[in-house]
Amino acid sequence: MDGNIEEAKSKSILVTGGAGYIGSHTTLQLLLGGYRVAVIDNLDNSCEEAIQRVAQLAGKYGGNLTFHQADLRDKEALEKVFSVEKFDAVIHFAGLKAVGESVAKPLLYYNNNIVGTLNLLEVMIAHDCKKLVFSSSATVYGQPKEVPCTEDFPLCAVNPYGRTKLFIEEICCDAQRADPEWKIMLLRYFNPVGAHPSGIIGEDPRGIPNNLMPFVQQVAVGRRPELTVFGTDYKTKDGTGVRDYIHVMDLSDGHIAALSKLFETNDIGCEVYNLGSGRGTSVLEMVAAFEKASGKKIPLKFVDRRPGDSETVYASTEKAEKELNWKAQYGIEKMCRDQWNWSEKNPWGYRSPETTD
């Protein structure tokens, strides 16, 4: 570890979207790994408090973190950030991610996610920084015909959010093909849940959560009366949808592994990796694990399937294990324990009842 820290010390990483859920956890792990980190975030779906807490958790490494409040669509602002510091690599989390909203406001999603990424790539080229880790999603597998999903499965997007991920993957591959100096990792996340074990940072979605676990968490703390379970007639063990939940700390460490690989390998090109646990868990199993971890009963309301939902999705993790030397460590008990610890300590996230929607 010390050797790694020595090596990381000389490296400076730009993290876009670093105030958000996955970005804040990854920023912390980068700092603890000895990297210097600059975060750029427009705070559209996050707040600066998250950055302050990351610095606090990082202890003696907290001084290696800088924050720039800026929008990736503002190229001048981006230029400014690159002109004050030379970055060795960029981890690009910044983007909008609500599927329903993307259907209602597709142009907003294309503008934010795609224009933001194009600006970033152009400014990176201008400053000769050509190492990138990009947050893609299992959503690019659409409704997979079989599981586990391997990286070479056919890709298809079923909503504008998914299409932004698919387009950005292609844009990255094209950029790399045109200029082999680029080294790019496309990481397809499955379902990130949980929080840092301290309960000091975690997920704090704005508005009504779309995803299962943030919703469960808000029911547990009394912010919502019940969980709506979408679909009970899937051909799964208990009729509810099956997904691959991955602890956000494991996911963050997956980024450190990807980054190390980028620095170590000369001819990486543009490579794609699944980051998941490789295990499938149903909605009811997840609720039961959370009830056990929290001691709270989660009232359920069973309704029809949610349009666009798949029956069963989980990852093949073989490629990441073999090539990144990374494997998820935590099971759903630990995910639920840490999720509950965060929500019990921060029932209104980083905000207060008055400032929460």
Applying CB under 6 A, the residues found at the interface with ligand UD1 are: 97, 99, 137-139, 161-162, 191, 210-212, 215, 227-231, 241, 243, 283, 306, 308-309
- Taking the complex as a whole, the smallest distance from the CB of residue 258 to ligand NAD amounts, in Å, to 13
Picking from 50, 84, 56, 81, the residue whose alpha carbon sits closest to that of residue 68 is 81
Contact partner at residue 95 from ligand UD1, ligand NAD, none, CB < 5 to 8 Å by partner kind: ligand NAD
Conformational region of residue 43, where left means phi above 0, alpha means psi within -120 to 50, and beta covers everything else:
left
Contact partner at residue 99 from ligand NAD, ligand UD1, none, CB < 5 to 8 Å by partner kind: ligand UD1
In the complex with ligand NAD, the residue whose CB is nearer, 115 or 232, is 115
Buried b (16+ CB within 10 A) or exposed e, 263-273: eeeeebebbbb
C-alpha angle 315-318-319 in degrees, rounded to nearest 5? 100
Q: In whole angstroms, give the CA distance from residue 310 to residue 224.
A: 25
What residues line the site for ligand NAD (CB under 6 A)? 17, 19-23, 41-46, 71-73, 93-97, 112, 116, 135, 137, 189, 191-192, 211
In the complex with ligand UD1, the residue whose CB is nearer, 139 or 217, is 139
Does 161 participate in catalysis according to the annotation?
A: yes
Contact partner at residue 229 from ligand UD1, ligand NAD, none, CB < 5 to 8 Å by partner kind: ligand UD1
In the complex with ligand UD1, the residue whose CB is nearer, 64 or 218, is 218
Contact partner at residue 228 from ligand UD1, ligand NAD, none, CB < 5 to 8 Å by partner kind: ligand UD1
275, 246 contact by CB (below 8 A): yes
The percent of the chain in helix, strand and coil, each rounded to the nearest 5, is 45, 15, 40
Annotated catalytic residue, options 35, 61, 141, 161: 161
Q: Which residue is nearest to ligand UD1 (CB)?
A: 241
Residue 201 makes CB contacts below 8 A (sequence gap 6+) with: 24, 25, 28, 50, 53, 54, 57, 195, 342
- Taking the complex as a whole, the smallest distance from the CB of residue 189 to ligand NAD amounts, in Å, to 4
Tell the residue number behind the tokens 């999720």, with chain if given: 339
Tell the residue number behind the tokens 């959560």, with chain if given: 209
Contact partner at residue 308 from ligand UD1, ligand NAD, none, CB < 5 to 8 Å by partner kind: ligand UD1
In the complex with ligand UD1, the residue whose CB is nearer, 33 or 254, is 254
Q: Find the Cα–Cα–Cα–Cα dihedral 330, 223, 236, 279, rounded to 10°.
A: -10
In the complex with ligand NAD, the residue whose CB is nearer, 198 or 232, is 198
Q: Map residue 201 onto helix, strand or coil.
A: coil
Picking from 95, 100, 52, 89, the residue whose alpha carbon sits closest to that of residue 72 is 95
Residue 39 makes CB contacts below 8 A (sequence gap 6+) with: 14, 15, 16, 18, 19, 23, 27, 51, 65, 66, 67, 68
In the complex with ligand NAD, the residue whose CB is nearer, 137 or 316, is 137
Contact partner at residue 94 from ligand UD1, ligand NAD, none, CB < 5 to 8 Å by partner kind: ligand NAD
- Taking the complex as a whole, the smallest distance from the CB of residue 254 to ligand NAD amounts, in Å, to 12
- Taking the complex as a whole, the smallest distance from the CB of residue 95 to ligand UD1 amounts, in Å, to 11
Residues identified as active-site: 161
